[in-house]
Amino acid sequence: MDQKSSKNNSEVENEYSVIIKNLSVTYRTEPALWNIDLNFPKGKMIAIVGPNGAGKSTLVKAVMGLVPITAGKVSIFGKPYSKNRDKVAYVPQRGSVDWDFPTDALDVVEMGLYGKLGWFRRPNSKTRDLARECLDKVGLSNYADRQIGQLSGGQQQRVFLARALAQDAQIYLMDEPLNGVDVITEKTILSILENLKKEGKTIVMVHHELQTVDKYFDWVVMVNRNLIANGPIKEVFTKINLDRTYQEKQRISIQ
């Protein structure tokens, strides 16, 4: 019996913040992810890597129930996401956001507090102060009143990180937050995430720059519709696993 199978459920839940079992996601008849068994350990910086169309973003969305799951289940600290949504913060891809929406940076950050407020309680001076504090953490306190579409790409990404910080979550799911940002933004984001990790938070990031994986992260998940490899960088991030991950798209037969 291997080490993982010898652990009881409570031991597994104490070690991992997210547990994914037999997860499959299918778009129409095309599998996006197939039979994924995967756990995210607590207090780690975790990279999800793989080629375009490999299901990286789908995996993150499936954890939050943003895409329909064909089979399997996901648990957050031992419970369904719907029971523990306040423990999860999400930073989407910039390309998925409507930047013409008429709202300013402070309002976007304050949206991260709606889950704690409840939909029928209005924001007050305390929540505004907290939102401003989170903007200050990402170096954008002077941009609080700026319409979100008027900010640069790096500034927009930092605003969404500030929104995630306002949620004070235990798990941060991030979909390519470093894609196309400037050096200052990249350093700011990584510094904040490193501090979150030191606090025991779990950071899961879809990442596409392979040359920085072993520099920024201590755990890696390698996917190409199937799970190719998962574990500590030093053990898993190898040429053999990279070749397996970035080969031609995996052929999956659905029985």
Per-residue pLDDT at 98 = 73
Number of domains in the chain: 1
Confidence bin at 7 (pLDDT 50/70/90): low
Q: How far apart are the first and last CA of the chain?
A: 28
Per-residue pLDDT at 1 = 40
**pLDDT tens digits for 114-157?**
665 454 455 667 888 999 999 999 999 999 999 998 998 889 99
Flag whether the pTM goes above 0.75.
Answer: yes
Question: Is residue 253 in some structural domain?
Answer: no
Confidence bin at 2 (pLDDT 50/70/90): very low
% of the chain surpassing 70 pLDDT? 87
Question: Is residue 68 in some structural domain?
Answer: yes
Rounded Cα–Cα distance for residues 85 and 238 (Å): 34
The residues near 94 (Cβ < 8 Å, ≥ 6 apart) are: 153, 156, 157, 179, 180
Per-residue pLDDT at 122 = 59
Question: Is residue 128 in some structural domain?
Answer: yes
Confidence bin at 111 (pLDDT 50/70/90): confident
Q: What is the mean pLDDT of residues 19-43?
A: 94
Question: Is residue 19 in some structural domain?
Answer: yes
10 Å CB burial of residue 12 (0-12, 13-18, 19+) is middle
Which strand ranges, in their side-by-side order, compose the sheet holding 30-41? 30-41, 16-27, 71-76
Between 158 and 95, whose confidence is greater?
A: 158
Question: Is residue 254 in some structural domain?
Answer: no
Between 228 and 149, whose confidence is greater?
A: 228
Question: Is residue 250 in some structural domain?
Answer: no
Query: Can you name the residues that pair with 31 across neighbouring β-strands?
Result: 26
Per-residue pLDDT at 119 = 46
Confidence bin at 253 (pLDDT 50/70/90): very low
CATH number at residue 33: 3.40.50.300
Rounded Cα–Cα distance for residues 144 and 166 (Å): 14
Q: What is the mean pLDDT of residues 156-185?
A: 92
Whether 95 has a pLDDT exceeding 90, the answer reads no
What domain range is 189 assigned to? Answer: 3-245
Q: What is the mean pLDDT of residues 39-63?
A: 96
Q: What is the mean pLDDT of residues 175-190?
A: 90
Question: Is residue 240 in some structural domain?
Answer: yes
Average pLDDT, the chain: 87
